[in-house]
Amino acid sequence: MDYVNGPGRNHLFVPGPVNIPEQVLRAMNRNNEDYRSPAVPALTKTLLEDVKKIFKTTSGTPFLFPTTGTGAWESALTNTLSPGDRTVSFLIGQFSLLWIDQQKRLNFDVDVIESDWGQGANLEVLASKIAEDKSHTIKAICIVHNETATGVTNNLATVRKILDHYQHPALFLVDGVSSICALDFRMDEWGVDVALTGSQKALSLPTGLGIVCASPKALEASKTAKSVRVFFDWSDYLKFYKLGTYWPYTPSIQLLYGLRAALDLLFEEGLDNVIARHARLGKATRLAVEAWGLKNCTQKEEWFSDTVTAVVVPPHIESSEIVKRAWKRYNLSLGLGLNKVAGKVFRIGHLGNLNELQLLGCLAGVEMVLKDIGYPVKFGSGVAAASAFLQNSTPLIPSRI
């Protein structure tokens, strides 16, 4: 029963959780079954092989935890580090802030590099710290690839170049929760040691799977890491991998079938095509924001995100009113501003199971909301700018050529 039912469909444009494809919903619509039967291990084996493709790794070892991105964070940290280890982490928005908080609560010595919200990670400061660390006290670099609070994407290839330039052995840990399966991500090429994502983002599944992928270097580090872990212990999973049963505890059967369907859809479209689609939707959204006379929270083009756009509102407007009005009047779900940017921005998520016409419907809704709250938007301005771009850049659907 929907206790806040509205006519038609909810237009879901938060940056996660996202719209779930019908094929995935149907795949999950099944009864429970015995995970010790031959069927579930056979399914799991194909999933472990195929999730490596979304990380673009051949050497990584994936783990499918029944958890959220927060649990995946904890798995990445506790399996590779010991209490008191020094980490370098970048504070650029709400989710990087939360990961830093987790690192501190797990008793790591966190060296925080802070930037204004709307800026990317300060890699010049990182380079200085790495250059100064002759004794290699820094054990890990922790970075959020795509900060959804501000719509900022960081350059991971540059982080790897810095580490390689100074021949520094620090582990490279990456939160790819709102980037993997939507933005270009190359685990092997960029030398990422642990990458992680959540099922409710670009994979377009319900919340409940934290997917972690560990490099051989990270697996080796896990053998001596002294952080306490139980539920997220990689070694427990690896024992069952060797046995061919795969699960140290009961998995979420329905989510596994959903993941199978989600991966099939991604591979049918082609991962490079998926990334290109997100690039189009991100560019179209930014063009609309510009046409409305509003500003992007992200301060430089090099940091623009193709999965979420944080829109700065004029000082006399409370951005939460935009989000409330959108939901109450137009059944449109937009993202709130969080923490330092609360009341100052609203967020348009454009990731996952989404196409061009869906986005245009969202942009039309935002224009109506802006007019409702007294902002002098010209009707059709953002929709026209986005439409013109999309009409010239949208290819034929690959499966229909």
pLDDT of 188 > 90? The answer is yes
> Which segments within 206-248 are labelled E, that is strand?
210-214
Q: What is the DSSP letter of 313?
A: P
- 206-230 residue pLDDT tens: 999 999 999 999 999 999 999 999 9
Least Cα distance to 387 among 291, 284, 286 occurs for 284
Q: Residue 305: its pLDDT value, please?
A: 98
Q: Report the DSSP beta bridge partners of residue 111.
A: 88
DSSP string, 342-359: TTTEEEEE--SS--HHHH
Percent of the chain surpassing pLDDT 70: 99
Q: Residue 6: its pLDDT value, please?
A: 86
Contact status, residue 55 vs residue 181, Cβ threshold 8 Å: no
Least Cα distance to 49 among 335, 289, 263 occurs for 263
Verdict on whether the full-model pTM lies above 0.95: yes
Cβ-based neighbour number of residue 102 at 10 Å: 18
Q: Residue 337: its pLDDT value, please?
A: 98
Q: Residue 331: its pLDDT value, please?
A: 96
Q: Residue 394: its pLDDT value, please?
A: 98
pLDDT of 2 > 70? The answer is no
CA distance 198 to 269: 20
Q: Residue 137: its pLDDT value, please?
A: 98
Q: Residue 172: its pLDDT value, please?
A: 99
- Confirm or deny that 286 is annotated as ligand binding: no
pLDDT of 318 > 60? The answer is yes
- 128-156 residue pLDDT tens: 999 999 999 999 999 999 999 999 999 99
- Averaged pLDDT for residues 167-183: 98
Please report which confidence band the pLDDT of residue 1 belongs to, taking 50, 70 and 90 as the band edges: low
Residue 343 burial by Cβ neighbours in a 10 Å radius (0-12, 13-18, 19+): middle
Least Cα distance to 191 among 165, 224, 209 occurs for 165
Please report which confidence band the pLDDT of residue 118 belongs to, taking 50, 70 and 90 as the band edges: very high
Q: Residue 401: its pLDDT value, please?
A: 84
Query: What is the three-state SS of 148-173?
Result: CCCCEECCHHHHHHHHHHCCCCCEEE
Q: Residue 4: its pLDDT value, please?
A: 79
State the chain's mean pLDDT as an integer: 97
- 242-291 residue pLDDT tens: 999 999 999 999 999 999 999 999 999 999 999 999 999 999 999 999 99
- Averaged pLDDT for residues 98-125: 98
Contact status, residue 354 vs residue 19, Cβ threshold 8 Å: yes
pLDDT of 3 > 80? The answer is no
User: Which tokens belong to 333?
Assistant: 């779900």
Q: Residue 398: its pLDDT value, please?
A: 82
- Averaged pLDDT for residues 357-382: 98
